[in-house]
Amino acid sequence: MSFSVRAATVRHGDTLALDDVTVVVEPGSVVVVVGGDGAGKTTLLRTMVGEVVLDSGTVDAPPAQAIGYLTARAGSWQALTVRQNMDFVGGIYGLPREQLEQRREELLSRAGLTEAGDRLASQLSGGMRRKLGFSMAMLHEPALLVLDEPTTGVDPVSRVDIWRLVSEAAAAGAAVLMATTYLDEAERAGSLLVLDGGRTLAHGTLAQVRAALDGTITEDGVPHRAAWAWRRGRRYHEYWATREVIAGSAVAIDPDLEDVVVALSLARRAAVGGHR
Amino acid sequence: MNAPALLRASRASRDFGGFRAVDAVTMSVGPGEVVGLLGANGAGKTTLIRMLLGLIPVTSGDVELLGGPPDRERRSGLGYVPQGLGLYRDLTVQENLAFSSQAYSVDPPELTEPLQGSAGVLVGDLSLGLQRQLAFLAALAHSPRVLVLDEPTSGVDPLARAALWDTIRDQADAGTGVLVTTHYMQEAAQCDRLLLMSRARLVAQGSEADIIGATRAVAVRADDWAAAFAALNAAGEPVMLAGREVRVADADPDHIGAVLSAAGIVAEVAAVPATIEERMMVLARETSSGVS
């Protein structure tokens, strides 16, 4: 059974935090929500776990005790040790002692935290703290795992660990919905949802998201129209809508997700009269 | 490179008690160069930066900022954007700029386009992307010759990130040397040159290809990717998921093939070049298993 938020609209005062956004998460799969600060990622995740009430739309999620939720901040009690944090959460879910201890040690071992088990959470590195938060969210074997930027500010090695843990959870049958600002990381997900200013820019597999962009992305040593060009290293990438005449020296490229999201964002903001 | 280095470390080391945080690192940043500094948390990146800026002394070796010891006077030629941005959240945009400009005895800079209309807004009320734009503007107001940026774009949307990189590149084109730390591998690809630190040492430098070196990965394509993932994970392989593809860093394709067929899984197995992240993961595993 899949979980979903459909046609979701959420208003915070005058601003539309979410404008007709739909996301569907199948068991055994990872859906990644990408977008910057203010795109609506956290609002969408909180909608899925029932912390935000929709102005319109529907939510189809399992009951709270079958959801694991890692928020963007903290996620653990700083004055408790790693094991105490796990035990506390296990107690909330009413796990029997023996089962809790077994599950706790298994998760800590997978996260590489066994040796740090008696350390205070405040003494963990940023990456270890996120792995602890993840392990706490996984303790009761939730059917739906919701992760808000589990890897932001985390070093690449810990990030690989977290992705391995996410992959394991999905391979074991969990439906995973996670937010990230790292687009190279998002390319790994089976399915993507690209948000900007509360709206869906594109969704689907990486190939479908690429296909959502009409027009061409080119590379050149100089920008031809500054408003539509952005730097990649010492070169410029530039977006051309379908009927535009591409400058002679610009060479069409196979864009990555970063290029596609930048081009989609430029096109959308031009359409609504904003600027970068 | 013939131009004199703007930042330079020669066998620079730093001990904290009995712990060596930076071990004999030799590196430099020249004019017009964007150099990326990579490494896991605790690899020594921040300690190296703090020595280069003269905020802590070296235990042995030597560091230079703008051709001499990093003292107060030379630091006036430096722009630094720390991870925490170093802005005053209780002051407005205009007040922050007035304050930082006064510290360098220059006129406050004009607001760049994204910040126009926000002059009187408290910094704490700005989006993260705009706060980063402001921190850049403040750091650039005194036309520094060296720019040091600690994770400049963490948490910023792709468009704002592209704008920040425009600024970084404009600075480099005008001759400024830039040292930037990042955990974002796509950003590493924006740099002219990369330095990779692991366990206090500089372990690789050069292009992305130089950093990855001979490290390879195995890519597995199976219809039942979940089963392939589970089988390799159960066998203790450092397995990762990339879309529907399963990857194992630094593994022997024949061995991976054998593990999969023993589990009755039909899959395509191919040796492919590793990514920078996989290279870093391999380094971390060597460290924790005591191999060096």
Count residue pairs from A and B with Cβ separation < 8 A.
146
| Tokens 């060096």, residue located | B292
Closest CA to A72 of A12, A9, A137, A26: A137
Instruction: With CB atoms and an 8 Å threshold, state whether A231 touches B192.
Output: no
Task: Specify the pLDDT at position A202.
Answer: 94
Residue-level length of chain A: 276
Report CA-CA distances (Å) from B273 to A158, B118, B209, B213. 21, 47, 9, 9
Task: Specify the pLDDT at position A70.
Answer: 93
Instruction: Report the chain A residue with the minimal C-alpha distance to residue B240.
Output: A164
Let me know whether B233 and B103 are in one domain.
no
Residue B282 maps to a domain: no
Task: Specify the pLDDT at position A57.
Answer: 96
Query: How many angstroms separate the first and last alpha carbons of chain A?
Result: 41
Give the rounded distance of the alpha carbon of A253 from its chain centre. 26
Let me know whether B96 and B222 are in one domain.
no
Tell which A residues from 235 to 264 touch B, by Cβ distance under 8 Å: 256, 258, 261-262
Task: Specify the pLDDT at position A6.
Answer: 96
Let me know whether B22 and B71 are in one domain.
yes
Closest CA to A171 of B226, B215, B36, B291: B226
All domains in chain A, ordered by first residue: 3-204 (3.40.50.300), 207-271 (no CATH)
Looking at B168, B191, B210, the residue that finishes a domain is B210
Instruction: Report the chain A residue with the minimal C-alpha distance to residue B188.
Output: A233
Residue B280 maps to a domain: no
Contact of B3 with chain A, judged by CB distance below 8 Å, is answered with no
Let me know whether B67 and B200 are in one domain.
yes
Task: Specify the pLDDT at position B238.
Answer: 82
| Tokens 């992307």, residue located | B129
Residue B22 maps to a domain: yes
Residue B283 maps to a domain: no
Instruction: With CB atoms and an 8 Å threshold, state whether B129 touches A36.
Output: yes
Contact of B56 with chain A, judged by CB distance below 8 Å, is answered with no
Task: Specify the pLDDT at position B289.
Answer: 58
Q: What is the mean pLDDT of residues A178-202?
A: 88
Residue B103 maps to a domain: yes
Q: How far is B102 from chain A (nearest CA, A)?
A: 29
Task: Specify the pLDDT at position B291.
Answer: 45
Question: Backbone phi, then psi, for B27, in 5-degree steps?
Answer: -160, 165
Looking at B160, B186, B210, the residue that finishes a domain is B210
Instruction: Report the chain A residue with the minimal C-alpha distance to residue B230.
Output: A171
Task: Specify the pLDDT at position B237.
Answer: 85
Let me know whether B254 and B162 are in one domain.
no
Instruction: With CB atoms and an 8 Å threshold, state whether A232 touches B127.
Output: no
Let me know whether B126 and B181 are in one domain.
yes
Label residue A215 exposed, middle or buried (CB < 10 Å: 0-12, 13-18, 19+). Answer: middle
Let me know whether B107 and B176 are in one domain.
yes
Report pLDDT digits (tens) over A101-117.
Answer: 999 999 998 888 999 99
Contact of A109 with chain B, judged by CB distance below 8 Å, is answered with no
Low-confidence ranges of chain B (pLDDT < 70): 1-2, 155, 243-244, 287-292
Q: How far is B72 from chain A (nearest CA, A)?
A: 30
**Which of A167, A191, A256, A272 to probe the B interface (max B CBs under 10 A)?**
A167
Look at chain B and report how many structural domains it folds into.
Answer: 2
What is the percent of chain A where pLDDT is above 70? 98
Task: Specify the pLDDT at position B284.
Answer: 76
Q: Is the pLDDT of residue A276 over 50?
A: no
Looking at B210, B242, B263, the residue that finishes a domain is B210
Q: What is the mean pLDDT of residues A237-254?
A: 91
Domain that holds residue B33: 7-210
Residue B240 maps to a domain: yes
Closest CA to A150 of A171, A173, A114, A176: A176
Report pLDDT digits (tens) over A34-66.
Answer: 987 778 999 999 999 999 999 999 999 999 899
Let me know whether B91 and B189 are in one domain.
yes
Q: Is the pLDDT of residue A273 over 80?
A: no
Instruction: With CB atoms and an 8 Å threshold, state whether B151 touches A153.
Output: yes
Residue B262 maps to a domain: yes
Q: Are strands A144-148 and A3-12 parallel, antiparallel or unpaired?
A: unpaired
Let me know whether B179 and B240 are in one domain.
no
For residue B220, the domain's CATH number is 3.30.70.790
Residue B82 maps to a domain: yes
Contact of A150 with chain B, judged by CB distance below 8 Å, is answered with no
CA gap B233, B231 in Å, rounded: 5
Q: How far is A262 from chain B (nearest CA, A)?
A: 5
Instruction: Report the chain A residue with the minimal C-alpha distance to residue B191.
Output: A233
Task: Specify the pLDDT at position A208.
Answer: 93
- The ipTM of this complex is 0.71
Task: Specify the pLDDT at position B225.
Answer: 77
Q: What residues are paired with B218 via a beta bridge?
A: B248, B271
Tell which A residues from 155 to 194 touch B, by Cβ distance under 8 Å: 155-160, 163-164, 166-168, 170-172, 181-184, 187-190
Contact of B127 with chain A, judged by CB distance below 8 Å, is answered with yes
Task: Specify the pLDDT at position B287.
Answer: 64
Let me know whether B137 and B183 are in one domain.
yes
Let me know whether B33 and B120 are in one domain.
yes
For residue B124, the domain's CATH number is 3.40.50.300
What letter does residue B124 receive in the DSSP assignment? G
Let me know whether B196 and B243 are in one domain.
no
> Which segments of chain B does DSSP mark as H helices, in order?
45-52, 72-75, 93-103, 128-140, 158-173, 185-188, 208-212, 225-234, 253-262, 276-288
Instruction: With CB atoms and an 8 Å threshold, state whether B155 touches A153.
Output: yes
Q: Is the pLDDT of residue A275 over 70?
A: no
Instruction: Report the chain B residue with the minimal C-alpha distance to residue A264.
Output: B159
Residue A232 has its nearest CB partner, among B156, B190, B242, at: B190
Spell out where chain A has E strands. 3-12, 15-25, 30-34, 56-60, 67-70, 144-148, 175-180, 191-196, 199-204, 216-220, 229-232, 235-240, 251-252
